[in-house]
Chain A
Amino acid sequence: MVRLQPDPFLNELTNMFERTTEKGSVWVTLKHSSDKSKLKRDKMKTAGEKIEYKCLVRATDGKKTISTMVGVKDHQRFQSSYATILKTRMTALKKRERKDKRKAADSDKKQDPKKQSSAVKPSN
């Protein structure tokens, strides 16, 4: 498990997606975490200290695992970069087939009266 800073993590995640284009999966897991052991957290609670929580993000391609902690200040930037990576990479999913079929059916119907009207015009 490699712990990285948010930006190198995003770069490595992009590489993972590139490597698994032909075969393999990419798992990304999000968890609310304080990065401290349970013992330490309990001690902090009894001492009245505020525990700082972050978002733990892990990614793996089945062989290599990387992780990073995203804090409150970084999370907006991280989330938009992460969304961009996903949008660029998740291209294998199907587009809306049903609506396309309906559109094709509608456009066929529209074309028929058009053909008739265009056939009428040149005759005039």
Chain B
Amino acid sequence: MVYVASWDDFLEKSLLLFRSQPDQTRYSTKYRHCDGKLVLKVTDDKECIKFKTDQAQDARKMEKLNNIFFTLMANGPQADISEVGVKEQIEAQPAKKGRGRKQ
């Protein structure tokens, strides 16, 4: 099991894996409340990368990754994710006319 140290590395590698093997790749999350640990795993049954943490800040990063994977998996590997954010998606429609971002 390959544990990746940096979040950005993990993110990059997982996206690469998914884009190269969209039918085989799966993204798993394991959460243990009693230990306060979170483990993420992305594998295509040939390669496997994991990320382990007990930090609350990583939970927020994980949410972003969840959004990315949901978008990719529902729409297809060619889906444009470019900084998928829940707020941005909600504001995307009304913000088309206006140019102001967060106010």
Contact = CB atoms under 8 A, between A and B. Distances in A.
Interface string B56-99: 11110011001101111111110000000010010000000000
Give the contact-size bracket for chain A.
35 or more
Given A28-B28, A29-B28, A76-B89, A21 B34 contact: yes
B26 A31 contact: yes
Interface residues of B, number: 38
Contact of B33 (A32, A87, A89): A89
B20 interface: no
A93 B62 CA distance: 13
B74 A54 contact: yes
Contact of A83 (B25, B32, B86): B86
B69 A30 contact: yes
A43 B11 CA distance: 34
A32 B25 contact: yes
A96 B55 CA distance: 7
Contact of A93 (B30, B55, B63): B55
A23 interface: yes
Interface stretch (A67-75, A101-109, A112-120): A67-75
Contact of B32 (A25, A32, A33): A25
Given A83-B66, A96-B57, A24 B27 contact: no
Nearest to B31: A26
A94 interface: yes
A70 B74 contact: yes
Interface of B: 18, 22-23, 25-36, 38, 53-59, 62-63, 66-67, 69-77, 86, 89
Interface of A: 17, 20-33, 53-56, 70-72, 74-76, 78-80, 82-83, 86-87, 89-96
